[in-house]
């Protein structure tokens, strides 16, 4: 069977990248972040989501197998 | 109050990525669906942590999320009873004492366990009621999703309905229960990650826990309660009139903590199915315990923001309001929608909306994947197939039946959704009625598992009588201020409860007691129908003890149960 950590990690990494880029692009857009109390939530959520996604990917079977082959 | 979200391209991008993965998982699992067992039972190959998260995720449907945030606003931290006393003891009990019989008996569904332990008619009664209940639940969820998409995103009702049904059908048809479970895990994480920014921002806005306590005190006092009623969950349960639930501690204990919780978590096949899909006996016993850990922390994500929104509602400077219904009453279920709108800018908003969409779809998929199993094994295999021909059907045949049942389940759900859109009240009523099957079912399964003397005929009568008693009580009682007969009292409004919650609790308590009492009495009056050998693996005292000595101590279910227990008591005392 498929290791769920792989699609899970891949999806959240993509979300993380999208949000981080969007967060970086909107730095200084105070009007947009007025709703979120002045916090650039896209950037923060993006980085956290990306970390989560990468950790999941790292521990997924397909990635671990590849790493083992290399070493 | 405008409920419309202005979603940008970035939000639709996130939503699109999610749907690609949902369908992709179904597609990738397709090649493993070689027989009925793989399709309907996930081949009993799911790791404990995956099944554990799916176990909790199935229950975390969008109606639940929206309802719980609304309840946080209405009842304060008292709502956490549903996540602590109303869930954890039942989940621990299921894990330590019941899973071994569900999993070890080789039954493929809860109705099939009833057939093995009792008799065919007990199974038939349960299977048919369960099948109707899952279709109703999935239809109502589908209807609610389409309405939400219309109100929040401005999408067309019919397009939303058929599109969501098509996606759910696609991935459950392709990958069966495995696909449903995998997507539930995806949904679990997306709910956490999608809602967390909102939960943190709202708490920041009201000045954290202490700021919220201080702001709530005058608001709650004005309602006629003690100032900290909204931020405690046991403190004011000494008398029913001191808390917004309208239930005293013994009612919470017996009604929610025992009958409702055990009825739901320990006998509802929708939930138990996730644990039955686990890869081994040890894994199956750990599933409810693994699910229990995140369960205890979900209130921080969905109930606490609801409690905080009572502060926002009473502070005109925040500009926070709920939409009103035709009668001018606030629609509490929209609390979480309005919070997302209030705090999230484009980008994370897309993630938040995707989280809600995800929870709707997995709610439907969960029901459909439980329906097709019960339909195939408990209704088709035992009643329909024998009539059409006596030839022994093979596994391929049941795989086909399971697939067809999936399509039928989705079509029936769409029909139910249309009935709900025309006669919403009738659907609410039907759902209230069918939710009454769990309490007597728990009484019967409890006696079946732990008392070898209980007999099939007694169980059948107990199950039926418990259901009828629940109906009778519902027909004779009303919550105060009810305007329609849907809330009860359709025979005669003899008993009045302060709130609907109290009525539900007592309905469950009466139904459970009636089923228990009747099953015990009738069993004692009859001769035993099954020998000790026949009950091996089905009844506690007739089954050899499980030996966990091959498993290292920190991986044993008992150890996990102790951790869950410590967390449970810790949280209970912390928010007393």
Cβ contact B190:B353 at 8 Å: no
Q: What is the mean pLDDT of residues B314-330?
A: 82
Tens digit of each residue's pLDDT (9 = 90 or more) over B289-305:
999 999 999 999 999 99
State what percent of residues in chain B have pLDDT above 70: 96
| Boundaries of every domain in chain A | 5-65
- Identify the band that residue B144 occupies on the pLDDT scale cut at 50, 70 and 90: confident
Quote the minimal CA–CA distance from B266 to chain A in Å: 26
Q: What is the pLDDT of residue B142?
A: 86
Contact B345 A36 (CB under 8 A): yes
What ranges make up the beta strands (E) of B280-403?
A: none
Q: What is the pLDDT of residue A32?
A: 81
- Identify the band that residue B60 occupies on the pLDDT scale cut at 50, 70 and 90: confident
Cβ contact B302:B355 at 8 Å: no
Q: What is the mean pLDDT of residues B1-29?
A: 86
Q: How many CA atoms lie less than 13 Å away from B212 in the CB half-sphere?
A: 25
Inter-helix orientation angle B157-205/B9-29, to 10°: 110
Q: Does B43 touch chain A (CB under 8 A)?
A: yes
Lookup: tokens for B196:
């967390």
pLDDT of B389 over the 70 cut? no
Contact A7 B14 (CB under 8 A): no
Q: Would strands B495-497 and B477-479 be described as parallel, antiparallel, or unpaired?
A: parallel
pLDDT of B519 over the 80 cut? yes
Closest residue in B to A51 (Cα–Cα): B193
State what percent of residues in chain B have pLDDT above 90: 24
Please report which helix (H) or strand (E) contains residue B478, including its range. strand B477-479
CA separation for the pair B331, B313 (Å, rounded): 13
Cβ contact A26:A40 at 8 Å: yes
How far is the CA of B22 from the CAs of A26, B31, B101, B181, B362, in angstroms?
29, 16, 33, 11, 10
Tens digit of each residue's pLDDT (9 = 90 or more) over B236-250:
887 777 888 777 888
Q: What is the pLDDT of residue B287?
A: 93
pLDDT of B23 over the 70 cut? yes
Q: Return the closest-CA partner of residue B376 out of B353, B397, B391, B354.
A: B397
Terminal CA-CA length for chain B: 35
Of A22, A37, A44, the CB nearest to B204: A37
Q: What is the largest CA-CA distance in chain A?
A: 50
Contact A18 B50 (CB under 8 A): no
Tens digit of each residue's pLDDT (9 = 90 or more) over A48-65:
999 999 999 998 888 888
Contact A18 B13 (CB under 8 A): yes
Residue A33 with chain B: CB contacts under 8 Å:
345
Contact B25 A2 (CB under 8 A): yes
Lookup: tokens for A15:
């979300």
Contact B43 A18 (CB under 8 A): no
pLDDT of B426 over the 80 cut? no
Q: Does B101 touch chain A (CB under 8 A)?
A: no
Of A2, A32, A33, the CB nearest to B29: A2
Question: Which residue did the predictor score with more confidence, B82 or B543?
Answer: B82
pLDDT of B207 over the 80 cut? yes
CA separation for the pair B177, B37 (Å, rounded): 10
Q: How far from the centroid of its chain's Cα atoms is residue B496's Cα?
A: 27
CA separation for the pair B257, B277 (Å, rounded): 26
Q: What is the pLDDT of residue B324?
A: 84
pLDDT of A11 over the 90 cut? yes
- Identify the band that residue A19 occupies on the pLDDT scale cut at 50, 70 and 90: very high
Q: How many CA atoms lie less than 13 Å away from B76 in the CB half-sphere?
A: 28
Tens digit of each residue's pLDDT (9 = 90 or more) over A28-50:
888 888 888 888 888 999 999 99
Q: What is the mean pLDDT of residues B342-357?
A: 89
Alpha helices in B94-153 (DSSP H): 99-104, 110-117, 120-148
Contact A42 B28 (CB under 8 A): no
CA separation for the pair B214, B228 (Å, rounded): 9
What ranges make up the beta strands (E) of B182-336?
A: none
CA separation for the pair B83, B292 (Å, rounded): 9
Contact B186 A11 (CB under 8 A): yes
Lookup: tokens for B470:
């629940």
Query: Tell me, what DSSP letter sits at residue B97?
Result: I
The highest-confidence range among B149-153, B272-276, B428-432, by mean pLDDT, is B272-276
Average pLDDT across chain B, whole number: 86
Cβ contact B92:B289 at 8 Å: yes
- Identify the band that residue B494 occupies on the pLDDT scale cut at 50, 70 and 90: confident
Closest residue in B to A30 (Cα–Cα): B345
Lookup: tokens for A26:
């909107």
Q: Return the closest-CA partner of residue B58 out of B262, B273, B257.
A: B273
Which of B286-290, B331-335, B411-415 comes out lowest in average pLDDT? Answer: B331-335
* B122 contacts: CB under 8 Å, gap ≥ 6: B114, B115, B444, B456, B459, B460, B463
Q: Does B351 touch chain A (CB under 8 A)?
A: yes
Residues of A in CB contact (< 8 Å) with B are: 1-2, 4, 7-8, 10-12, 14-15, 18-19, 22-23, 26, 32-33, 35-37, 39, 41-42, 44-46, 48-49, 52
Residue B189 with chain A: CB contacts under 8 Å:
8, 12, 52
Contact A36 B351 (CB under 8 A): no
CA separation for the pair A60, A57 (Å, rounded): 5
**Phi/psi of residue B184, each to 5°?**
-65, -35
Q: What is the pLDDT of residue B258?
A: 85
- Identify the band that residue A18 occupies on the pLDDT scale cut at 50, 70 and 90: very high
Q: Does B6 touch chain A (CB under 8 A)?
A: no
Quote the minimal CA–CA distance from A42 to chain B in Å: 6
Query: Tell me, what DSSP letter sits at residue B545?
Result: P
Q: Return the closest-CA partner of residue B370 out of B267, B262, B504.
A: B267
Tens digit of each residue's pLDDT (9 = 90 or more) over B69-124:
988 888 888 889 899 998 999 999 999 998 988 888 888 889 999 998 888 889 99
Contact A23 B347 (CB under 8 A): yes
Q: Does B97 touch chain A (CB under 8 A)?
A: no
Lookup: tokens for A58:
């790292």
Q: How many CA atoms lie less than 13 Å away from A18 in the CB half-sphere?
A: 23
Q: How far from the centroid of its chain's Cα atoms is residue B401's Cα?
A: 26
Cβ contact A24:A47 at 8 Å: no
Residue reference for tokens 């209030």:
B342
- Identify the band that residue B392 occupies on the pLDDT scale cut at 50, 70 and 90: low
pLDDT of B196 over the 90 cut? yes
Q: What is the mean pLDDT of residues B177-190?
A: 90
Query: Is residue B553 classed exposed, middle or buried when 0-12, 13-18 and 19+ CB atoms within 10 A define those classes?
Result: exposed
Residue reference for tokens 């086909």:
B400
Q: What is the pLDDT of residue B213?
A: 86
Q: Is the ipTM of this complex over 0.90?
A: yes
Q: What is the mean pLDDT of residues B6-17?
A: 88
Residue A49 with chain B: CB contacts under 8 Å:
193, 351
């Amino acid at each position: 069977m498929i290791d769920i950590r792989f699609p899970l990690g891949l999806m959240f990494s993509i979300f993380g990248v999208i949000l981080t880029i969007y967060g970086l692009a909107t730095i200084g857009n105070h009007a947009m972040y007025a709703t979120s109390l002045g916090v650039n939530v896209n950037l923060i959520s993006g980085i956290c989501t990306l970390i989560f996604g990468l950790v999941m990917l790292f521990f997924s079977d397909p990635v671990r197998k590849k790493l083992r082959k290399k070493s | 109050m405008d409920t419309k979200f202005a979603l940008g391209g970035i939000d639709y991008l996130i939503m699109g990525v999610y749907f690609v993965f949902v369908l992709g998982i179904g597609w990738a699992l397709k090649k493993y669906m070689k027989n009925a067992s793989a399709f309907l039972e996930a081949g009993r190959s799911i790791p404990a942590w995956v099944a554990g998260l799916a176990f909790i995720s199935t229950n975390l449907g969008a109606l639940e999320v929206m309802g719980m945030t609304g309840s946080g606003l209405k009842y304060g931290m008292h709502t956490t009873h549903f996540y602590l006393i109303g869930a954890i003891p039942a989940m621990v009990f299921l894990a330590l004492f019941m899973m071994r019989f569900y999993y070890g008996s080789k039954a493929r569904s809860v109705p099939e366990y009833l057939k093995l332990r009792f008799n065919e008619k007990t199974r038939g009664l349960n299977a048919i009621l369960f099948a109707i209940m899952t279709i109703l639940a999935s239809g109502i969820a589908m209807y609610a999703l389409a309405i939400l998409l219309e109100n929040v995103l401005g999408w067309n009702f019919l397009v939303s309905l058929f599109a969501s049904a098509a996606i759910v059908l696609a991935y459950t048809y392709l990958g069966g229960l495995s696909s449903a479970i995998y997507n539930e895990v995806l949904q679990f994480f997306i709910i956490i990650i999608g809602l967390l920014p909102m939960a943190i921002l709202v708490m920041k806005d009201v000045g954290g826990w202490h700021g919220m306590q201080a702001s709530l005190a005058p608001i709650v006092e004005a309602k006629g309660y003690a100032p900290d009623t909204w931020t405690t969950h046991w403190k004011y349960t000494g008398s029913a009139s001191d808390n917004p639930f309208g239930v005293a501690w013994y009612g919470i204990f017996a009604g929610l903590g025992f009958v409702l919780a055990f009825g739901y978590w320990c006998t509802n096949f929708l939930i138990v199915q996730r644990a039955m899909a686990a890869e081994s006996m040890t894994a199956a016993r750990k599933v409810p315990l693994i699910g229990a850990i995140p369960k205890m922390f979900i209130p921080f994500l969905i109930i606490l923001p609801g409690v905080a929104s009572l502060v926002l509602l009473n502070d005109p400077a925040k500009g926070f309001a709920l939409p009103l219904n035709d009668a001018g009453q606030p629609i509490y279920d929209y609390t979480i929608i309005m919070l997302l709108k209030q705090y999230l800018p484009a980008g994370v908003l897309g993630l938040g909306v995707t989280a809600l969409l995800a929870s709707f779809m997995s709610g439907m998929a969960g029901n459909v994947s439980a329906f097709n199993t019960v339909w195939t094994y408990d209704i088709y295999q035992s009643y329909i197939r024998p009539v059409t021909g006596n030839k022994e059907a093979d596994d391929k045949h049941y795989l086909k039946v399971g697939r067809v049942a999936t399509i039928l389940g989705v079509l029936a759900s769409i029909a139910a959704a249309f009935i709900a859109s025309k006669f919403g009240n009738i659907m609410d009523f039907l759902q209230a009625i069918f939710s009454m099957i769990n309490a007597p079912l728990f009484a019967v399964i409890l006696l079946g598992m732990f008392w070898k003397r209980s007999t099939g005929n007694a169980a059948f009568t107990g199950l039926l009588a418990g259901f009828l008693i629940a109906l009778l009580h519902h027909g004779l009682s009303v919550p105060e201020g009810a305007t329609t007969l849907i809330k009860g009292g359709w025979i005669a409004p003899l008993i009045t409860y302060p709130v609907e919650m109290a009525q539900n609790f007592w309905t469950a308590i009466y139904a459970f007691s009636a089923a228990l009492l009747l099953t015990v009495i009738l069993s004692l009056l009859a001769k035993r129908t099954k020998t000790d050998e026949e009950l091996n693996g089905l009844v506690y005292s007739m089954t050899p003890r499980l030996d966990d000595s091959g498993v290292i101590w920190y991986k044993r279910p008992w150890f996990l149960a102790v951790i869950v227990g410590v967390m449970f008591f810790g949280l209970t005392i912390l928010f007393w």
